[in-house]
A and B are shown apart, each in its own frame.
Chain A
Amino acid sequence: MTATETSAAVRQGDAPPVPALRTHGLTRRFGHHLAVDDVSLLVPRGAVYGFLGPNGSGKTTTIRMLLGLLSADDGEVELLGQPMPRALARVLPRVGALIEGPAFHPYLTGAANLRRLDASDATADPATSSARIADALARVGLTAARGKKFRHYSLGMKQRLGLAAALLQPRDLLVLDEPTNGLDPQGTREVRNLIRELASDGTTVLVSSHLLAEIEQVATHVGIMSAGKLLRQGTLAEVLSDGAAVVRIATPDVEKTAALLQQLGLQGVQPDPARQELRARLGDAAPEEVARAVVTAGLRLRGLAVERPDLEDLFVALTGEGFDVLQ
C-alpha cells in the first residue's frame, strides 16, 4: 500500500460526508463592481440553508455561478461533490432550481410549460412524464390551473409553477431563490411546509430570502451576505450566538448595580436611571449568578431578563440599518 492509498483509506473511514454544496473563494466582477467577493459557502447534506442578504448583496449572482449560468472570475464550486461547471450535465439533473423568479412561455399553459421542461431533461423518463407533471402540480396546489395559460397566472401562481418545475424529478439539492416572493400568507406557509417536507425526505435545500422570520422557522444553517461578502455562516444556533446576549435588569438602585456589574466583569454597562433599569452584555456570565450577586449585595431587584438577538437584529447589525443598496 502506498502512502496516498493509506491516507485515502484513513480519510474515507472518518471523513465527514461530502457537503451538498461547497464553494471556495468564489469571486465575480461586473466591470469595476465586485458583485461577489471571495465567497466560500458550505452547505452540509440534509441542511436547510438560509441564504440571506439585502437586495444587491450578491445572492443571485452567487446562485447563478453555482448553476453554471455565470462564469466565476475566480474560485471553485462543487455541487454534490462534483466540480462545476465541468460536471454540469451530470450534476444538474439532481438539482432543482428556482432562480430570480419563475420564467415560462406566456402563451403555453402551466402543464405545457412543465412538459416542455420535462422534454428537455435527458434524464427524465418519458413514460412517467405525465404522472410526474401531475404530481408536481398537485404538490404546489396548481392542479385546477394546469390548463390555464401562463400569462393569465397571478404572481403567486407563477411562483408555484416555478416550484413545481423544480420538483419534476427527485432532487438531492434544491436551490430556491426567493421562493415565497409574491405569495400570500397561506402560500408562504405552504412553501415553508413544503421545504420542511422535502428536507425530511433528505433533500438539501438552499433557500435565499430576505424574509428573516421565514428563514428562522425552517433553516438549520444560515449564511449572511452583504456587499458581495459572506459575513457569517454556520448553523442557525451558531450564527445567532454570535450576537451577544444582553442582560436587562430593572432596579431602583441603578448606580450601585452598574458598579456591581462592572465588578463582575460585564462589558458595555448602560445605566438608564430615568427608566430605573440598566443593560449590559452578558458575555460568559450566567444570568442566575448575576441575579444572586445583585441580591447578595443587598440591592433591590425588580426584574432580570436575558435578551438574545433574533435573526433580524443580527441581520441588521451585520448588514446595516440603511435602506440604500450597498455598492
Chain B
Amino acid sequence: MSSSDVLAPAFVAPTRYRGAFGRLYRSEVRLILGRRRNVAMLVVLSIVPLLIGIAVKVSTPRGGDGPQFLGQITGNGLFLVFTALTVGMPLFLPLVVGVVAGDSVAGEAGLGTLRYLLTVPVTRSRVLIVKTLGVLTFTATAVLVVGLMGILAGGILFGLHDVTLLSGDTVSLGNGLLRTLGVIAYVIVALFGLAAGGLFVSTLTENAIAAMATTVGIAVLSLLLDAVPQLSGLHPYLLTHNWLGFGELLRGQVDTGALLSWSGLHLAYAAVFLSLAWARLSTKDVTG
C-alpha cells in the first residue's frame, strides 16, 4: 500500500477545548497543594518566622552573633522576613522544594499514574511543562508563606517602620516593602535552579524518595563545595553560592548588575536541568 491516507476515511481528531492547559495546570496545583504532606511542610515553614520572632522578643538583645539581620528585627519587624529567609535558605526551603520537585514525575511513575496521564493523552512535553509550573508554583508559595508570615509576625511583635538599609540610608516603609517583594522574587528564582534539578532527577527513577533525597543532596553538595576554600575558583558558579544575594536589595545603591548576573546563573542552572529532564522524559520507556 502506497499510503495509509489513501484508504483511511478522514480521521476526525477530537477538538481541543480552549483553556485546556489552564485546566491541567490547576489540577496539578490542586494535586500538590491538596496533599497533606505538602501542606504540613508549608505550615512548618510558616512557623519559622514566628519562632524567630518570639525568640528575639523574649530574649535580651545581644549584638554580633546569630544569622544576618537578626539584630535589626527589634527595630523593624520587616527584618524578620530577611532573617527567616536567611535561616530557611540553607536547609528548610531546599528540603521543601526538593521533596515536591523530586516527587513530581517519579511519584507518578511509581504509582503508575504517569502511564495513565500519558495515555489520556498528555504529551510528554506538556507533562514536563505542567510539572515544572506546578513545582514553581509550590516553590513560590513556600517562599511567600515565609515572607508573609515574616511580615505578619514582625509587624505584630515589633511593628513595621521606615527601613534603615544596610548602607545606613533610611527609606519609607513602602519602599521597604517593595524591596521585600524583590527579595522574595530573588529567592524564588534562586530556588528554581534547584527545583529544575529536582525535576530532572525525578525523571530518572520511579522511586520518589530517592529522587527527593538526591535533590536535597544536590543542594547540600553545593553548600559543602562552597565551604571548601581551596575551591574558591569554583564558588561563583555553584548553585547555592548566591542564594543569600538578596541582601544586595537592602543597600541604598542596589547593584542590579550583580543581582541580574546571579539570577542569570540560577536561570542557567534551571535551563540546563530542564533540558536534561526533557531529553530524558521524551525518550523514557514508561514501564511503571
Contacts and interface: CB of A to CB of B under 8 A. Distances in A.
B112 interface: yes
B113 A64 contact: no
Interface in A1-56: 4, 8, 11-12, 15, 17-18
Contacts of A111: none
A94 B16 CA distance: 12
A97 interface: yes
B36 interface: yes
A103 interface: yes
Interface string A99-130: 11101111110000001110111111110000
A15 B116 contact: no
B99 to A, nearest CB: 15
Nearest to A93: B14
Contacts of A90: 11, 13-14
Contact of A104 (B21, B35, B111, B287): B111
Contacts of B4: 18, 78, 81-83
Given A18-B8, A120-B117, A101 B112 contact: yes
Nearest to A76: B4
Nearest to B283: A71
A125 B13 CA distance: 15
A102 to B, nearest CB: 8
A163 interface: no
Interface residues of A, number: 48
Interface string A63-104: 010011111000000101111000011111111010111011
Contact of B15 (A67, A71, A97, A123): A123
Contacts of B19: 126
Given A94-B14, A119-B23, A123-B17, A99 B115 contact: yes
Given A90-B11, A116-B31, A119-B23, A64 B123 contact: no
Contact of A119 (B6, B26, B283): B26
Interface string B112-124: 1101111111110
B7 A69 contact: no
Nearest to B13: A90
A63 B50 CA distance: 54
B51 interface: no
A99 B21 contact: no
A92 B119 contact: yes
Contacts of A123: 14-17, 20
A105 B111 contact: yes
B24 interface: yes
B208 to A, nearest CB: 12
Contact of B119 (A11, A95, A108, A125): A95
B285 A103 contact: no
Contacts of A97: 116, 119
B167 interface: no
Contacts of B113: 103-105
Contacts of A164: none
A224 interface: no
A69 B285 contact: yes
Contacts of B285: 69-71
A103 B286 CA distance: 13
B182 to A, nearest CB: 34
A108 B17 CA distance: 25
Contacts of A124: 17
A30 B4 CA distance: 30
Contacts of A103: 111-113, 115-116
Interface in B1-48: 2, 4, 6-9, 11, 13-17, 19-21, 23-24, 26-27, 31, 34-36
B123 A121 contact: no
Nearest to A94: B14
Given A64-B286, A119-B26, A126-B23, A8 B6 contact: yes
B111 A64 contact: no
A231 B14 CA distance: 35
A97 to B, nearest CB: 5
B14 A116 contact: no
Given A88-B121, A122-B20, A11 B112 contact: no
A105 B38 CA distance: 15
Contacts of B11: 80-82, 90-91
A207 interface: no
Given A104-B111, A116-B31, A125 B7 contact: no
Given A117-B116, A119-B24, A121-B120, A107 B36 contact: yes
A165 interface: yes
A126 B122 contact: no
A97 B117 CA distance: 11
Contacts of B122: 120, 122
B286 A120 contact: no
B14 to A, nearest CB: 4
A118 B20 CA distance: 10
Nearest to B118: A69
17 contacts: A12-B7, A17-B9, A18-B7, A64-B286, A67-B119, A69-B286, A70-B287, A81-B9, A82-B11, A92-B119, A103-B116, A104-B113, A107-B36, A116-B27, A120-B27, A120-B117, A126-B23
Given A117-B120, A122-B122, 7 more contacts: A12-B6, A68-B118, A82-B11, A90-B11, A104-B116, A108-B34, A120-B122
Give the 9 A-B CB pairs with smallest separation, nearest first: A103-B112, A122-B20, A119-B27, A90-B13, A81-B8, A92-B121, A123-B14, A69-B286, A122-B16
